[in-house]
Structure 1
Amino acid sequence: MNRTSSASAMIASLLFAVGAAQAATGGNQVMLNGKSVHGEVVAAAQGARVVNVDAGKAINVNCGDVVTFQSAGKSFTWKFNSAAHRALDVRDIAPQGFTDKKQMVYVSRNEGEGA
């Protein structure tokens, strides 16, 4: 096998692996280190914004915001450190089984990130 074919095979294998990883995480967008491109789960923070997913209203957040999501007696807290500042469904970041309801979250840049 020549170098070009070997490099092509390696790239194809890497793309397959990334696709498989995304499929395994329910289509979540993850970085190569396995972390979400949208942020991370954090410990519940005093003063964090609380959103009831069962209300079904879309929410707007800024990058860096900490939000506690609640649904049917369950909750999780998320810090938005978004790489792309785009809309996502709360189900994309929620723990498995948290909710089956769609709720859009619109992530904007924070003041320190500029326009």
Structure 2
Amino acid sequence: MRYGLAIAAAAAALFAVETASAVTITNLDQSSVRVFVCDDKCGPSHGDDWGSARDFWLAAGEAKSFDCTGQCFVGIYYDDHTPTLGDMAMADDDELFEGAESGYIRNGTATHKAN
């Protein structure tokens, strides 16, 4: 009985916490790109504070996985500037990922992989 309660408590704790999944992005462009990632815990709610936003470089042909809590916006830097809120809202050349998805960057655009 004691073990059953411990297992039930552990299971409840597991489902109560939102877990992060890994998103994998592959750069198919012939040059390095700087990638900007913003998950459900980031945003410009207080001026320039982007919270959990992060960025990284991807060389041509390189793939990288990163944690994604909820939905993750993946954008590309242009002229050393982060994607704008308009980019995030429109997602014309940027993409939203959720869960353990994979995608690629081609022609400066982040896209889901075709199945």
TM norm structure 2: 0.32
Write 1 or 2 for the structure with the bigger share of strand.
Answer: 2
TM norm structure 1: 0.32
